[in-house]
Amino acid sequence: MPELPEVETIRRDLVRLVVGRAVVAVDVGWPGSLKDVGPDFTARLIGARFSGFARRAKILIAELDSGDRLLVHLKMSGRLTVVPAGTPPDKHTRVTFELDSREELRFIDMRKFGYIKLVPVGAPAVLPELDRLGPEPLAPDFTAADWLDLVAAKGNSKRNVKAVLLDQTFIAGLGNIYVDEILHAAGIHPERPFADVSADEAARIYPEMRRILLDAIVGRGTTFDLYVDGEGRRGEYLERLAVYGRQGKSCRRCGSVIEKIRVAGRGTHFCPECQGG
DNA sequence: AAGAAGTCCTGGGCGC
DNA sequence: TGCGCCCAGGACTTCT
């Protein structure tokens, strides 16, 4: 389940492996992966050269020298990997971009939740997928004061704190794994109503959020299930997780048994001692 | 209108 | 052994 650190890891891999490469062919094995794409999808990509890869929240933005862009959302099970041409096909390969380097950029997505959307050159500058997103937690100009302003603006929400942190329009890029990790590090129970979170507690979230996301990027992401980086390697942050997937095990900080409950429709892991019962 | 619930999808794990 | 059931979850749509 790629979240901000996993998508950022893939982005960096693709900058290294794919920028400068031209598309020589496109094979669409499952058209359902393509979103708002016309019949000219394949034709307008062939001959175009990848010029850069950006990221906004969990969305990867491939930039082509034609001015076209591809928005890629991996959702639950999506993968983007670069393999030598002729590598035996993965069962769940949905779209393959053959490159002029005798390599292939493959979009693999077992659960078919992910998508690739073509944004043609000259399209309106405001894109609905990106426009509604909240701030990037790791942006250099996103300060602790900005975070507290954000919290204050949402301060009367009756939703629990986990649901708010998962809300991409509030803060962008967090998903189920890292929200559990951040709330544990900040010592806040995931079911607490957001409106009841004190200013001190809210202030604790900011540094923990930044530290955990940065550490996870350094570790090349978390492979819990299907995630791999641009070269097909697993992320190393799994072994550093404090609570996610550790139900029944002892808390690394206090030794209490980690619990798993359901919050905001998501499996939610927390320490009853560190996070206040 | 905020917030909750339903929806999409597949494979793995479980109980019987 | 094999079948059916439930679970995983991001974010959009539908409901209350």
- pLDDT confidence tier of residue A230, bands split at 50, 70 and 90: confident
Element (H, E) at A182: helix A176-186
Tell me the pLDDT tens digit for each residue of A30-87: 999 998 778 889 999 999 999 999 999 999 999 999 999 999 999 989 999 999 998 9
Least Cα distance to A9 among A190, A158, A222, A256 occurs for A222
Burial (CB < 10 A; 0-12, 13-18, 19+), residue A131, is exposed
- pLDDT confidence tier of residue A277, bands split at 50, 70 and 90: low
Residue A233 zone, left/alpha/beta (φ > 0; ψ -120 to 50; rest):
beta
A180 touches strand C (CB under 7 A): no
- How much is the average pLDDT of A253-265? 92
Share of chain A above pLDDT 70, in %: 100
Tell me the pLDDT tens digit for each residue of A7-21: 999 999 999 999 999
Share of chain A above pLDDT 90, in %: 81
- What is the SS3 assignment for A180? helix
Tell me the pLDDT tens digit for each residue of A124-144: 888 888 988 999 999 999 999
List Cβ neighbours of A202 (8 Å cut-off, separation of 6 or more): A147, A148, A151
Give me the CA A156–C1' C15 separation in Å, rounded.
23
pLDDT at A103 over 70: yes
DSSP 8-state code for residue A133: -
Q: What is the pLDDT of residue A68?
A: 95
Of A residues 83-122, those with CB within 7 angstroms of nucleic strand B are 91-92, 110-113
Q: Catalytic residue numbers of A?
A: 2-3, 58, 266
